[in-house]
Each structure stands twice: as structure tokens, then as C-alpha cells.
């Protein structure tokens, strides 16, 4: 690599080979990478087949559009006035699990009101890697949430022994919808489940809505309920990879909700849910704690994960992004704090959406809707997150259905009157990550020199490097990309996101 006359193809090949060796990858891959470069004299830029740039930009027709290639030259030290990205391929971090969204009742009901060709397009758009954005992760709900047409459970009220348990309610929409998604994803789709509330009779307020707490006399019955749900879904051919204990356990909502303090969640896990899963042969299910906003993420993780008896059951800590209601500022620092304190546990973004549906914001192509996704994903990944889950994968033209009027945005909306789909910029922004960063990838250390430019990078198992960069400013941005002593000069439109793929 010291010979400046070596081709850049030789350079990149050797770099990726060195990274793979340090990561203990398959020796066969190391050999092929070492043998692949052509040993030619003379300088040659990377060809179109070796680099790709994809761009989505507000106010343009660019939507995950291929917009060019990358040409590296000698390293350039950026000035303080210049925007630059540095990728350090010697520093590899967490293993990437996947990106996806929640398959709610609302999504399923909307899906079956679409025209057949739009249903097929929807599945292809989300789950095909080649023609869509390649989702590999999903979330499902344990009975109803606000994005259901009404409240319901899987048992008759008062049945603490769960003798009447059945998932017949889900057979009309959610089960067939979920099976179609799994099929569209090639038969392999990681699925985790979350409850919003126990049945009313198990709670202190006698209501599935408006918060309340789980009564102590129903701790075991409620733990058994998770097992019943997993068994029922898996009998339908829907494997459950993991589960969170409670959606938003510190929120008293007008919809299905249940409050746990950190100590209550810890004790329910270590004394009831964890042992019950193990006794039922489900000790391999990935248990996710917290499942609420970033603001209390570090506090919650400390209480639960510092207890050895609870810790042993925990796969990771889940979080949402709604803490910015306080001052408009997402608290990414708390994601980093948990990652630093508990590096043996995983971090997973379990829910996020743009609230308060307003059709005018879509018509006006408001960049804040999509940029919220881009900013969150870049920062969450850079702070150690291994998986990222959007909220409703699909909603109707009103931002529902939702049985308490909590109408929201989704990346894709289906018009139940016309049967047609609308793909928002948020869909494409998410796709800049999910289409190119594949499960098993490792994050690479990445830094930028300007606040208006943010970026994250990953090394895929096939040896390709993926850099996702975003420009939140009102102006076109010229920037530099440097790795391993080489620099490329690039440009990005205003309010845009780019994915650079180095093969």
C-alpha cells in the first residue's frame, strides 16, 4: 500500500482484508480478498462497479437515486472551515442486528383495504433488498394498543388461569399480514413482541387504559400470558425472537398503558417473567427492558442491570425518541452512557414516529419529518445501538386507525378510499440504512468536522463498506470523505441524505 502507483482497487482490497483478519472473519474470505486485486502499475480510480452513491433530497426528485461514484485521491487534511468525514476502518464496534417496523393492527387493517397491486408493491417496497429497502426486523403487539380499532385481550375478563386464551381476534388481519411480511422477507424476519397493558381485572385501576399498575396477585398469571402468546404465535408459524416487558412503563396514557417503577420492572422480571420463560423452554428469547424514552434510559438500566438476578435474564435495553417534547433535543448521550456502563448488553431502538398527523406537512415536503429519522439513526448507531425499529409500518390517510384519536405519521400511508399508497421521504431516509447495512455488519468509527454534516459507517459481512451521511442545512454541501490515507471530494444537496457504498 506504500507504493503510490498501486491501484486504489488493490488498496481497498487490502484494507478490507486487514479489517476482516482483525475481526476473526472466515479465513476463506481473507484469502479471496488477498488474491482478488489486480497488480497493475499506474494509478486507476475506482470504477462504477466498485463505488456507488445514492441520494434522497427534499425539493427534488431524488429518492434513493443513484447519483454517481466515488473517486479517491491522496489524503487531504480538512481546514476548520471545511466539512469532512473520517472513517477509521481499524476501529470496529457493535454487530448490527437489523432495521424494521411494527406490524400493528392499524397497519394490517389498512393493508387489507388497499388494491391488490398496491399490497404487492407494499411488501416488495419494504422487504425486498433489491427492489425495496430490505427490512429484517419487526415488532408485534400483545393484544391491543392505541393503534387498534378497539381494546381487547386474548382471554375472557377475570380468567386468571388463562383457560380461555386464544388469538382468534388476530386471524382477520394481523396474523395473515404478518405471515405475508415474513414471506416477503424471504422467510426470515426477527420478531419481538410488546404488551401495552394487562387485562383490566389484573390492574389496580380496573381499566386497560389510563395507566394503573399490575396487581401483585396477578404477577404469575401475567407472566404466563407472555408464554401463551409466544406459543400461540409460533404455532401459527410466526417465530418470536424477543419481547419487551412493557411498552412505556412510566407513562399514564389515554390508551392502553401500565406503570412500573424501575424496581417493580426489575422484580417482575427476576421473580416471575424470567423464571417462567426458562421453565417453559423459552430461555433463549431476548428480553428487552425499559422500552421507553431516552431521558430515563440510563437510570432505568442501572436499576435493572446492576441486579445480578435480573441482569441474567436481560438481552438488552430498548428505548423510544419522544423525550424531545421537553425542549426539542433528543438525549443521545444517555444511549452512550448505557453502552459504556453495560457493554455486554445490547441497545435497541424499539419505537419512534412523527406525532400529530398533519397532511399539510406531507404536501409541503417538510424536511423535519424525514430528518428526524436520519439524525436519530446515525446518532443511535454511533452510540452503540444494534437494532432500530420504526413504529407503524403503514397507516391510513388519516394517520390511523387509532381508537383514542392519537393519529400519527408513518413512512408509508395507504388511502383506504382510493386503495393507493403514498411513500413519504421518511421511507427513503430509513432505506438509506436498511437497504445497504445488512445484519451481521460491524459499525466502523466515524467522525465529522461540521455540525450540519453527520455520518455513520458499517462494514458488511461481504466486505463492502457503507457510509451514510446527512446534510440538515438549507444549502448544498461540499464535503470530503477520507479513509485509510485517501480522500474523495463529494457534494450533497440541501436537506439530503446520501449512502456511499464501497465494494
CB proximity list for 116: less than 8 A, separation 6 or greater? none
The enclosing H or E element of 219 equals helix 219-235
b/e map of 455-482 (b: 16 or more CB within 10 Å)?
bbbbbbbebbbbbbbbbbbeeebebbbb
Q: To 10 degrees, what angle do helices 116-127 and 174-184 make?
A: 50
**What is the distance, to the nearest Å, from the Cα of residue 187 to the centroid of all Cα atoms in its chain?**
19
CA 443, CA 144: separation in Å to the nearest integer? 36
The answer to whether 309 and 337 are in contact (CB under 8 A) is: no
Q: Which member of 109, 265, 351, 472 is catalytic?
A: 351
User: What backbone phi and psi angles, to 5 degrees, belong to 4?
Assistant: -70, -10
Q: Which member of 248, 265, 323, 484 is catalytic?
A: 248
CB atoms within 10 A of CB 101: 27
CB atoms within 10 A of CB 121: 18
Torsional class of 205: left (φ above 0), alpha (ψ -120 to 50), beta (otherwise): alpha
43 grid coordinates: 494509478
Does the annotation mark 299 as catalytic? Answer: no
**Half-sphere CA count of 351, side-chain side, radius 13 A:** 27
CA 234, CA 240: separation in Å to the nearest integer? 7
CA 347, CA 339: separation in Å to the nearest integer? 7
Alpha helices by DSSP H, 80-162: 105-111, 116-127
14 grid coordinates: 487490502
Greatest alpha-carbon pair distance for the chain in Å reads 80
Q: Is 415 helix (H, G, I), strand (E, B) or coil?
A: strand
The answer to whether 133 and 427 are in contact (CB under 8 A) is: yes
CA 313, CA 477: separation in Å to the nearest integer? 47
CA 13, CA 153: separation in Å to the nearest integer? 55
Q: Is the peptide bond before 401 cis (omega within 30 degrees of 0)?
A: yes
128 grid coordinates: 425486498
Does the annotation mark 351 as catalytic? Answer: yes
CA 174, CA 394: separation in Å to the nearest integer? 12
- By annotation, the residues acting in catalysis are 248, 351
Amino acid at each position: 500500500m506504500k507504493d503510490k502507483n498501486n491501484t486504489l482497487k488493490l488498496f481497498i482490497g487490502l484494507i478490507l482484508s486487514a479489517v476482516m483478519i482483525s475481526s476473526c472473519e472466515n479465513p476463506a474470505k481473507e484469502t479471496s480478498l488477498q488474491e482478488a486485486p489486480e497488480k497493475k502499475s499506474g494509478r486507476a480510480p475506482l470504477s462504477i462497479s466498485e463505488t456507488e452513491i445514492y441520494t434522497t433530497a427534499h425539493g427534488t426528485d431524488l429518492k434513493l437515486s443513484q447519483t454517481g461514484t466515488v473517486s479517491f485521491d491522496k489524503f487531504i487534511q480538512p481546514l476548520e472551515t471545511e466539512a469532512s468525514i473520517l472513517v477509521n476502518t481499524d476501529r470496529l464496534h457493535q454487530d448490527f442486528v437489523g432495521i424494521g417496523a411494527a406490524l400493528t393492527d392499524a397497519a394490517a387493517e389498512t393493508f387489507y383495504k388497499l388494491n391488490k397491486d398496491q399490497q404487492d408493491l407494499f411488501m416488495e417496497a419494504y422487504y425486498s433488498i433489491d427492489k425495496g429497502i430490505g427490512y429484517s426486523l419487526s415488532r408485534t403487539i400483545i393484544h391491543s394498543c392505541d393503534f387498534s380499532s378497539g381494546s381487547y385481550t386474548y382471554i375472557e375478563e377475570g380468567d386468571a388461569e388463562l383457560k380461555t386464551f386464544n388469538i382468534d381476534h388476530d386471524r382477520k388481519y394481523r396474523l395473515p399480514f404478518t405471515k405475508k411480511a415474513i414471506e416477503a422477507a424471504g422467510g426470515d424476519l426477527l420478531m419481538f413482541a410488546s404488551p401495552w397493558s394487562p387485562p383490566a381485572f389484573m390492574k389496580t385501576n380496573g381499566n386497560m387504559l389510563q395507566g394503573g399498575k399490575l396487581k401483585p396477585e396477578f404477577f404469575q398469571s401475567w407472566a404466563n400470558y407472555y408464554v401463551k402468546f409466544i406459543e400461540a404465535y409460533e404455532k401459527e408459524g410466526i417465530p418470536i425472537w424477543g419481547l419487551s416487558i412493557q411498552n412505556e412503563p412510566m407513562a399514564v396514557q389515554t390508551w392502553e398503558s401500565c406503570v412500573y417503577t424501575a424496581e417493580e420492572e426489575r422484580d417482575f422480571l427476576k421473580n416471575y417473567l424470567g423464571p417462567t420463560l426458562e421453565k417453559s423452554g423459552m430461555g433463549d428469547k431476548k428480553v428487552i427492558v425499559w422500552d421507553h424514552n431516552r431521558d430515563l434510559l440510563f437510570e432505568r438500566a442501572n436499576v435493572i442491570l446492576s441486579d445480578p438476578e435480573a441482569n441474567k435474564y436481560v438481552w438488552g435495553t430498548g428505548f423510544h425518541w419522544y423525550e424531545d417534547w421537553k425542549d426539542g433535543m433528543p438525549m443521545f448521550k444517555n444511549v452512550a452512557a448505557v453502552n459504556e456502563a453495560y457493554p455486554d448488553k445490547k441497545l435497541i431502538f424499539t419505537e419512534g414516529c412523527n406525532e400529530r398527523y398533519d397532511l399539510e406537512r406531507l404536501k409541503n415536503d417538510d424536511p423535519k419529518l424525514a430528518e428526524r429519522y436520519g439524525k436519530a439513526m446515525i446518532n443511535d448507531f454511533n452510540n452503540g445501538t444494534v437494532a432500530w425499529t420504526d413504529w407503524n409500518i403503514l397507516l391510513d390517510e388519516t394517520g390511523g386507525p387509532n381508537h383514542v384519536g392519537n393519529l400519527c405519521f408513518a413512512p408509508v400511508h395507504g388511502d383506504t378510499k382510493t386503495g393507493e399508497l403514498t411513500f413519504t421521504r421518511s421511507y427513503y431516509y430509513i432505506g438509506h440504512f436498511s437497504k445497504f447495512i445488512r445484519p451481521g455488519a460491524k459499525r466502523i468509527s466515524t467522525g465529522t468536522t461540521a455540525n450540519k454534516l453527520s455520518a455513520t459507517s458499517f462494514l458488511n459481512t461481504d466486505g463492502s463498506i457503507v457510509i451514510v451521511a446527512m446534510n440538515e442545512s438549507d444549502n448544498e454541501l461540499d464535503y470530503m470523505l477520507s479513509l485509510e490515507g485517501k480522500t474523495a471530494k463529494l457534494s450533497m444537496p440541501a436537506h439530503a441524505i446520501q449512502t456511499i457504498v464501497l465494494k
